[in-house]
């Protein structure tokens, strides 16, 4: 990894485009692997394990539902991001909105997302590293954090995004091999008795990929709410409605629109269809090997009780691997940790440098000054993330719930702002402020469990309240405040060419003023119907592939074959429909 960083450093320091976007020359396959490597972090197996142990396999719909978000990004927003030509997705604000509100929004979110949110995410990943180090290597938290972060900080700071992306490519390969090896040996444990023993001993309700459809208190929070509300209403890092964060950064670094689309499509397939089952198998096996947390505590008495949650069962299972293989799996988790941290360090520093330092502190900063500030910021972000992991966090699902709630209700804005001229900077500002206040009140002002009903659990009610209040607030703000200036709206439309009825007024007013702003796409049909069709077919393909793999794992060969055929046919129709879309 240090070697990759050193090689990449020969070009990374040339300018900010090289350091933060790899010179905008990255191919789709490399970017797609990098995206999925970033989301395969050291805490992800822990998170999935905690979900499965707490609520069964069906609990994974909490993140499986985000596939819809991902495919909307693939077929609708990827090419728009690439057309925008921005260095970071926050630069978008001053291309789409006008006035001081747009400038404030860009600067504030640069610090809010680039530092606070970003380091919270890195803190959860580092927390997983702490638990893995404690359980497998008997290391204290400080030793783990220092040992785990030094190398990644070095190659991320000297090699820029290109170094991070190439490191991701190798790290993902190692991480997937390690996950499969861990699953294989987990089911060989004497308490499990192979896959047959696993599925005979685990209660059927914990094995099903769909929640009990006869029980509203189970299927509504686990399935209906994620699919009907969560995917479009909630902003979550890596699954932002309309794309954003490091996903947008990868799209912006692509060679062209086709490579941006191809990268995000590969990412969604690998992320949702290929990766989950090794983790799920280990999680299910852990229920038989360590039925209770007290069993883990008895096996590892030196573990700090603060870290004793269901998610720690994953590293506990890894200690049961044979010598040699446990080394391979530990190496794979180190690779997973480094790939995620490397991406977040580069992404977060791009916000701080491009959208705060250069925009507000030193507008005349040279490329060398910006790259130097990027490297300083990289180190600073790692230090803050380490503090989070060592002092505030104790389990992966805790951070997942906090992040999910704090973005509740804002997601629809990120979908609409490209296609409806009336969305303004004030829309986003009000949504951000209200969402934050509501999240704080719901988390710290209301007793845990007090909102639960006969059908909905406390967290689901909390989410729906946050979505409802925030959505009403930003809709009112959209019409209460002045819209974006005509000049900025026309410039943005000319740059990205989103089309559609949401821009009809802007196009007609420009035409009346003698200004033609849609010359390139004039007379061409709006592509949204085909794009939505591609989203639907893509969802069928990837969900069919996900459940086909699960069926083979469960021993239901016939269902696996049927779902595989559906996935194959869907792929054919997907690419046939996809070929009709224009790309520059």
The H or E element containing residue 50 is helix 44-55
Q: Decide if 123 is inside a domain.
A: yes
431 pLDDT tier (thresholds 50, 70, 90) = very high
Segments in 254-366 forming alpha helices (H): 257-269, 276-289, 293-299, 313-318, 325-352
Which is more confidently placed, 371 or 155?
371
* Helix/strand/coil (H/E/C) assignment for every residue in 314-345: HHHHHCCCCCCHHHHHHHHHHHHHHHHHHHHH
Distance (Å, rounded) from C-alpha 459 to C-alpha 449?
8
- Cα–Cα nearest to 96, from 488, 581, 486: 488
Give the tens place of pLDDT for each residue, 12-69: 667 777 787 777 888 989 999 988 887 777 778 888 999 999 889 999 998 898 899 8
The three-state secondary structure class of 448 is coil
- The pLDDT of residue 521 is 60
Give me the pLDDT at residue 582, please: 61
Give the mean pLDDT of 396-401: 59
Percent of the chain surpassing pLDDT 70: 95
Of the residues 343, 372, 388, which one is the last residue of a structural domain? 388
In the DSSP assignment, the letter for residue 38 is H
Q: What is the mean pLDDT of residues 340-365?
A: 90
Query: Which domain does 282 fall in, by range?
Result: 1-388
pTM of the predicted protein model: 0.84
Distance from the first to the final alpha carbon of the chain: 35
Least confident range of 11-20, 39-48, 346-355, 417-426: 11-20
pLDDT surpasses 80 at 408:
yes
Instruction: Give the residue from 371, 388, 405 where a domain finishes.
Output: 388
298 within some domain: yes
pLDDT at res. 394: 67
Least confident among 58-67, 414-423, 571-580: 571-580
Say what the pLDDT of residue 584 is.
57
Q: What are phi and psi of 457, to 5 degrees?
A: -80, 170
Torsion of CA 301, 305, 307, 313, to 10 degrees: 50
Out of 126-135, 279-288, 367-376, 530-539, which region has the weakest mean confidence (pLDDT)? 126-135
What's the pLDDT score for residue 233? 87
Residue 11 has pLDDT above 60, yes or no: yes
Say if 449 falls within a structural domain.
no
pLDDT (tens digit, 9 = 90+) per residue, 457-505? Answer: 888 899 899 999 999 999 999 999 999 999 999 999 999 989 889 999 9
Query: Using 50, 70 and 90 to split pLDDT, how confident is the model at 284?
Result: very high
Across the chain, mean pLDDT equals 87
Q: What is the pLDDT of residue 400?
A: 60
64 vs 392, higher pLDDT: 64
Q: For tokens 């900063």, what's the residue?
A: 365
Average the pLDDT over 342-368 and give the result: 90
Answer with the residue of higher pLDDT: 566 or 239: 566
- Choose between 440 and 418: higher pLDDT: 418
Q: Report the range out of 16-20, 259-263, 322-326, 419-423 with the highest average pLDDT.
A: 419-423
pLDDT value of residue 451: 87
Q: Is there a domain that residue 461 lies in?
A: no
Of the candidates 372, 388, 404, which is a domain's last residue?
Answer: 388
CATH code where residue 107 lies? 1.20.1730.10
- What interhelical angle do 276-289 and 528-554 show, nearest 10? 40
Cα 337 to Cα 172: distance, rounded to the nearest angstrom:
10
Does residue 150 surpass a pLDDT of 90? Answer: no
* 403 belongs to a structural domain: no
Q: Is residue 490 part of a domain?
A: no
More confident: 418 or 217: 418
Give the mean model confidence (pLDDT) for residues 350-363.
92
- Give me the helix-helix angle, 118-136 and 396-406, nearest 10°: 170
Q: What is the mean pLDDT of residues 149-174?
A: 83
Domain annotation covers residue 413: no
Q: What is the mean pLDDT of residues 271-285?
A: 92
Least reliable range by pLDDT among 12-16, 99-103, 124-128, 179-183: 12-16
Q: Give the chain's domain count.
A: 2
Residue pLDDT, tens place only, 504-558: 999 999 989 888 877 666 556 678 888 899 999 999 999 999 999 999 999 999 9
Whether 433 maps to a domain, the answer reads: no
Q: Please state, for a pLDDT cut of 90, what percent of the chain lies above it.
A: 34
- What number is the average pLDDT over the span 417-423? 95
Distance CA 445, CA 286 (A): 35
């Amino acid at each position: 990894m240090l070697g990759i960083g050193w090689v990449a450093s020969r070009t990374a320091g040339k300018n900010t485009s090289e350091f933060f976007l790899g010179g905008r020359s990255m191919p789709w396959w490399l970017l797609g692997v990098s995206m999925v490597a970033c989301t395969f972090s050291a805490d992800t197996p822990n998170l999935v394990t905690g979900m499965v142990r707490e609520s069964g396999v069906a609990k994974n719909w909490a993140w499986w539902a985000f596939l819809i978000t991902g495919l909307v990004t693939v077929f609708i927003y990827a090419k728009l991001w690439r057309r925008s030509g921005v260095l970071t997705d926050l630069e978008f604000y001053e291309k789409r909105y006008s006035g001081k509100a747009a400038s404030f929004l860009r600067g504030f979110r640069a610090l809010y997302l680039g530092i606070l949110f970003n380091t919270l995410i890195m803190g959860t990943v580092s927390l997983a590293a702490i638990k893995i180090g404690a359980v497998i290597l008997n290391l204290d938290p400080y030793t783990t954090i220092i040992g785990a972060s030094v190398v990644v900080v070095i190659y991320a700071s000297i090699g820029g995004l290109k170094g991070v992306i190439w490191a991701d490519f190798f790290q993902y390969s190692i991480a997937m091999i390690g996950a499969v090896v861990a699953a294989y040996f987990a089911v060989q444990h004497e308490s499990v008795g192979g896959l047959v023993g696993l599925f005979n001993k685990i209660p059927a309700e914990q094995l099903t990929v769909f929640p009990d459809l006869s029980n509203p208190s189970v299927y509504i929070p686990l399935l209906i709410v994620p699919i009907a509300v969560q995917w479009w209403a909630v902003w979550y890092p890596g699954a932002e409605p309309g794309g954003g964060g490091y996903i947008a950064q990868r799209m912006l670094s692509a060679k062209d629109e086709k490579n941006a689309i191809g990268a995000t499509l590969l990412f969604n397939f690998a992320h949702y269809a290929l990766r989950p089952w090794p983790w799920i198998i280990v999680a299910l096996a852990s229920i038989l090997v360590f039925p209770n947390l007290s069993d883990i505590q008895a096996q590892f008495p030196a573990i700090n009780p603060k870290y004793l949650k269901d998610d720690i069962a994953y590293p506990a299972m890894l200690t049961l691997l044979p010598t040699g293989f446990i080394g391979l799996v530990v190496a794979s988790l180190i690779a997973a940790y480094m790939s995620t941290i490397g991406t977040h360090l580069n992404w977060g520093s791009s916000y701080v440098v491009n959208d705060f330092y250069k925009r507000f502190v030193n507008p005349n900063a040279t490329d060398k000054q910006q790259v130097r500030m990027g490297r300083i910021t990289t180190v600073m972000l790692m230090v803050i993330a380490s503090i989070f992991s060592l002092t505030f966090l104790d389990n992966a699902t805790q951070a997942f719930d906090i992040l999910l709630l704090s973005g509740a209700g804002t997601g629809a804005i990120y979908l609409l702002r490209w296609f409806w001229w009336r969305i303004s900077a004030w829309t986003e500002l009000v949504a951000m402020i209200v969402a934050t206040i509501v999240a704080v009140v719901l988390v710290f002002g209301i007793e845990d469990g007090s909102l639960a009903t006969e059908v909905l659990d406390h967290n689901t009610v909390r989410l729906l309240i946050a979505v409802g209040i925030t959505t009403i607030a930003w809709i009112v703000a959209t019409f209460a405040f002045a819209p974006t200036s005509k000049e900025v709206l026309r410039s943005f439309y000319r740059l990205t060419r989103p089309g559609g009825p949401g821009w009809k007024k802007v196009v007609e007013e420009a035409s009346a003023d003698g200004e033609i702003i849609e010359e390139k796409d004039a007379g061409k049909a709006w592509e949204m119907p085909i794009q939505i069709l591609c989203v639907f077919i893509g969802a069928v393909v990837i969900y069919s592939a996900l459940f086909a793999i699960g069926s083979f794992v469960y021993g239901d060969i016939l269902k696996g074959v049927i779902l595989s055929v559906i996935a194959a046919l869907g792929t054919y129709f997907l690419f046939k429909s996809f070929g009709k879309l224009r790309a520059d």
